[in-house]
Amino acid sequence: MEMERVHNFNPGPAALPREVLEQAQRELLSYDRSGMSVMEISHRSAAFEAIIGEARDSLKELMNIPDNYRILFVQGGASTQFAAVPLNLFSKNGKADYVVSGNFAQKAKEQAERYGLVNVAASSKDKNFSYIPALDRAKFTPDADFFHITLNNTVYGTRFTSLPETGDIPIVADASSCILSEACDVSRFGLIYAGAQKNIGPSGVTIVIVREDLVGHALACAPVMLDYKTYVESDSLYNTPPTFAIYMSLLVFRRLKALGGVSAIQKINEEKAAYLYNFIDNSKIFTGTAERKDRSIMNVTFVLPSKELDAKFVREATAAGLVGLKGHKAAGGMRASIYNAVEFESVKALVEFMKKFELENGGAL
């Protein structure tokens, strides 16, 4: 019997591809005829070294990562990177610029302030982060050690569509909710980090892609587990890594390669987002909350005319098998997270449900 699955719009942890879950299920009791689960084998075994090696090579291929970058598998989520980034990169002048474009950007900035001098180069707090602020070079710090942005703002449904011109100052990006969703020129960045649980795999592993010249200059107070050099020198095997999460990420990378890579998934992602935004833009009762030019293709945020209707929508959608649509408490309303693993079919089901909801509830307005 086919196991019933819902349409999963969870913001993270989020949907995983069905085929990946099925493969993990098939291999759960005995990985590669070992008689053991991946969770039960040593991280020093040849089998696990093959898994982490292929995961690294696959990500390098998928993102076209240049040879002078290192791919690290770390723990602690993006939130730990909020501290690791300044601890590693405040190596010259102890100064950095941050664009505060959402709650996670704000948290990242607050961690950096513990270790150095932080300038807010731009902020969109004035309109509850519903847009990406314009960047004015005159407000940049000329001798900053790095410039931090949040590429996709998960809670508010906005994304950067162009990168700041920072000259020689490395751009550091939190790509937690958009990594592998669209083409990205890694050479434009000094460092990219992302928790896996939105667009890659389960929670527990965090990806760091760092230009090699930025490694090896951590502040003396940096814990060994937050020093990128520790991971570079040990191939991310200094201590026990999150083995099962890395294995699941590898299965996702393999599937994405089989689908045709990032350019293929980007096309599907753009189509999914356009289909949903097009419905919202032509609806009489649903309104998008992010400024059009800055809209995310991963997290689509929208509201109904009242909080009561928002709650009714989320309740009835959940009952209809469309889950995870309640907006973050800081933003309110609704949010449909349509990451790589969310099929077009789920977006169509959502739009059908929204049409029906509009017919049933629009008349009263």
Residue nearest to ligand PLP (CB): 77
Question: CB under 6 A: which stretch of 47-55, 71-79, 120-128, 234-242 binds ligand PLP?
Answer: 71-79
Region binding ligand PLP by CB under 6 A among candidate stretches 14-22, 174-182, 249-257, 309-317:
174-182
Among 8, 10, 150, 346, binds ligand PLP (CB under 6 A): 150
Q: What is the DSSP string of 273-339?
A: HHHHHHHHHH-SS-EE-S-GGGB-SSEEEEE-SSHHHHHHHHHHHHHTTEES-BPPTTT-SEEEE--
Q: Does 327 bind ligand PLP (CB under 6 A)?
A: no
Q: How far apart are CA 35 and CA 32, in angstroms?
A: 8
Stretch that binds ligand PLP, among 170-178, 179-187, 209-217, 263-271 (CB under 6 A): 170-178
The least CB distance from residue 30 to ligand PLP, in Å, is 31
Q: Which of 10, 12, 242, 347 binds ligand PLP (CB under 6 A)?
A: 12
Of residues 255-284, which lie at the interface with ligand PLP (CB under 6 A)?
Answer: none
Three-state SS annotation for 24-53: HHHHCCCHHHCCCCHHHCCCCCHHHHHHHH
Residue of 78, 85, 173, 215 interacting with ligand PLP (CB under 6 A): 78
d(CA 16, CA 244): 14
* By CB under 6 A, residue 79 contacts ligand PLP: yes
Binders of ligand PLP among residues 189 to 218 (CB under 6 A) are 195, 198
By the rule CB under 6 A, 252 interacts with ligand PLP: no
DSSP annotation string for 216-238: S---TTS-GGG-HHHHHHHTT-S
* Three-class DSSP category at 256: helix
Site for ligand PLP (CB under 6 A): how many residues? 12
Helix, coil or strand: residue 111: helix
* Tokens encoding 343: 């099929």
176 touches ligand PLP (CB under 6 A): yes
Strands 152-153 and 158-159, sheet pairing: antiparallel
Binding site for ligand PLP (CB under 6 A): 12, 77-79, 104, 150, 154, 174, 176-177, 195, 198
